[in-house]
Amino acid sequence: MNDSGTYIVFIEIAIYLISLLGIGFYFSKKGLDHSDFFLGGNKLPGWALAFSERATGESAYMFLGAVGFIYISGLSGIWILAGMFFGVVFSWLFLAKRFMEERKKYNVYTLPDYLAVKFPQHGQLIRWISSIIIGTFFIFYISGQFAGTGKTLYSISGVNITWGTIIISVIIIAYSCMGGFMSVVWTDVVQSFLMLATFIVVPIVAYSEIHAQHLSISHSLVEMGNGGNSWTGGLTGISLGVLIFANFSWFFGWLGGQPQLSSRFMALKDEKEVKQAKIVALSWTLVVYVGAFLVGIFGIALYEQGTLTDSEMLLPFMLADLLPPWAAGIFIASILAAIMSTASSQLMVITTSVSEDIIHKSLNIKLTSRSLVTISRITVIAGGTLGLILSLVSDSLIYTVVSFAWAGIGNTFSAAILMTFFWKKTSGAGIVAAIITGFISAIVWTSSPLEDIVTSRASTFFIAIFTGIIVSLLIPDKKIEIANEAVETP
């Protein structure tokens, strides 16, 4: 891309970032109360929450990691998308409505608070453990996202990594601080459309280029070797089972345990909105996942293995190579959008955990609605600043933590949620045991040779749910006798 093209990309990215700040500023003038700031105050349409959940769920991993994985794996890369797709389908078909109903029933705003209120005998312990685990690890998770924005911007434009990280991180912190959940959701809507457009347009352009150059996709898959032309990677028997299970294991992290995603389900207004959101979310996911797969496969035909020094940069490389600068700038913004939507949502999770779960509920500090919003905004700034500092000084630590955060948070809390939703004998002690063992096993398993045998993305889930079931049977909740009093209603 020449200098004039680079300037066009810069201008378009700048316009995009300014528009996000504009959305945050708009909602900052709305006089939000704490229910608006935490969970949208039942004012958000289902389709917007669906777009927000999808943009948040599909971070840079889809745009960079998954596409790059398919590029070096070939057809067998489909299994990683299959695992994630069925996880998304399960969450929307079987969990979304339940989250909405439970939030209304117990009047809660966060995942830890829901579990604490559901199991009051162990409520304080659940709330403290959950908040500390989520808050601590999401700080590092956010740091990884912040670092990703700087590196992505550098890879596509040469902007200094440090300055790129600082600028985009400050923008994320700013619009999250100004409008809370409301601005995060509506910025996610913009970002979601960009992401969707990318995986519609790029495969079409790439296929047109393949046709124009008279290239053969099937021949390229054969030439890449390593079973690239096989849906099973050329493997059979146990090796095939391990391949499919390892890639399909992403399924377990989608089962209600990611608080930045479950908050979208909790924010839904009614059953009509749930039905609308399901259609939007599942349609979006199908289009994006098919598009991501095609980008990886078409990349194999266009660029021989070894052409790229980093396979995860396939999509940015294709954008710069196949599209005019004005179009490349728009779709490059979609990669930043994927990272920013996840980071802002995780920042809101930390905010609600600190202000609602710890300050308001655990410490029982009585605050007005306006005071809660003020504390929440301070928390956004503090949490975001800490994440930014960590992203600039501790890359190796950040990515070590992020590598098992999916298992340590997603799988652990998925086990707790599934037990709570679908097993009546679940006890508070069982939930505590599931959270603690899931968290510890993620750390131990990921850093041991066991990870090479069975991925922690699966093992953590089964360890957590098995422990939770055993402890629930051994230590059931005590029955509390409540005197029934007749209440006369008008």
pLDDT digits (tens, 9 = 90+) for 6-63: 788 788 888 888 888 898 888 888 877 888 888 888 889 999 999 999 988 887 677 7
pLDDT at 241 over 90: no
For the chain, the structural domain boundaries read 3-393, 397-477
Report the alpha-carbon distance of residue 432 to residue 438 in Å, rounded.
Answer: 10
CA–CA–CA angle 442, 443, 447 (5° rounding): 110
Length of the chain: 490
CB 175 within 8 A of CB 20: yes
In order, the DSSP letters of 209-239 are HHHHTT--HHHHHHHT-TTTTSTTTT--HHH
At 490, is the pLDDT very low, low, confident or very high (cuts 50, 70, 90)?
Answer: very low
At 243, is the pLDDT very low, low, confident or very high (cuts 50, 70, 90)?
Answer: confident
Report the alpha-carbon distance of residue 46 to residue 96 in Å, rounded.
Answer: 11
What type of residue sits at position 95?
A: L
pLDDT digits (tens, 9 = 90+) for 446-479: 888 888 888 888 889 999 999 999 999 999 998 7
Over range 170-195, report the average pLDDT: 89
Report the alpha-carbon distance of residue 212 to residue 202 in Å, rounded.
Answer: 15
At 430, is the pLDDT very low, low, confident or very high (cuts 50, 70, 90)?
Answer: very high
At 298, is the pLDDT very low, low, confident or very high (cuts 50, 70, 90)?
Answer: very high
* pLDDT for position 37: 86
pTM of the model: 0.88
Q: Specify the CATH number of the domain 3-393.
A: 1.20.1730.10
- What six digits make up the tokens of 126? 């659940």
* pLDDT for position 398: 52
Mean pLDDT of the residues in the chain = 86
- Among 81-95, 118-132, 195-209, 310-324, the minimum mean pLDDT is found in 310-324
